[in-house]
Amino acid sequence: MAARLIVFRGSHPDLSTGHMYTSGDYAKASGISATTMSHRLRRVHEVHDTHLRPIEKDTQFGSKIDTSWSKQKQVVSVYTTPTEKLSGAWLKRKLL
Closest CA to 22 of 3, 36, 41, 35: 3
| pLDDT surpasses 70 at 34 | yes
pTM of the model: 0.58
Dist CA 57 CA 73 (whole Å): 26
Q: Nearest 5 degrees, angle CA 39-CA 16-CA 47?
A: 25
Mean pLDDT, residues 16-25 taken together? 94
CA 77 vs CA 23, 44, 80, 84: distances in Å? 55, 52, 7, 10
Q: What is the pLDDT of residues 41-82, one digit of tens each?
A: 999 999 998 899 887 765 555 555 555 555 556 667 788 889
For the chain, the structural domain boundaries read: 6-91
